[in-house]
Amino acid sequence: MKETPLLYYGKTPCMGKCPVFDMYVYNDGKVIYKGLQNVTLEGEHKFSLSKNQLQEIEDELKKVDFNIKNETIRDLPSTILKYNGKKLSVRNKEKIKDLVRLLEKIIE
């Protein structure tokens, strides 16, 4: 049986050199990152989160408004989150900046 991720976090391409990647975070703290384009870390990589890191991410996810209306700005990449059966696609990541900061620390 295929394991369902707790969280999917990804970025879509733009017309320039925007990073494109997929990240899957699982309930046990396992992280699978796939760097696709314009990223420092290319290819598939696996990480493990501590219980504290995982809890921080879950706490931030609870603050996210998954009903945010997306602005239509042609050349900005989308930041996509999928959590608890909900999907959020935003072009202005300012609205989810604390969560994005935590997630990006994983791949630094």
- For the chain, the domain total comes to 1
pTM of the model: 0.89
59: alpha, beta or left? (left if phi > 0; alpha if psi -120 to 50): alpha
List the domain range (segments joined by +) for residue 37. 7-105
Model confidence over 50-66: pLDDT tens digits? 999 999 999 999 999 88
Contacts of 92 (CB under 8 A, 6+ apart): 71, 73, 76
Q: Is residue 2 part of a domain?
A: no
Position 47 scores a pLDDT of 95
What pLDDT band is residue 71 in, cutting at 50, 70 and 90?
A: low
Position 1 scores a pLDDT of 62
What pLDDT band is residue 20 in, cutting at 50, 70 and 90?
A: very high
Q: Is residue 81 part of a domain?
A: yes
Position 58 scores a pLDDT of 94
Q: Is residue 94 part of a domain?
A: yes
Position 70 scores a pLDDT of 62
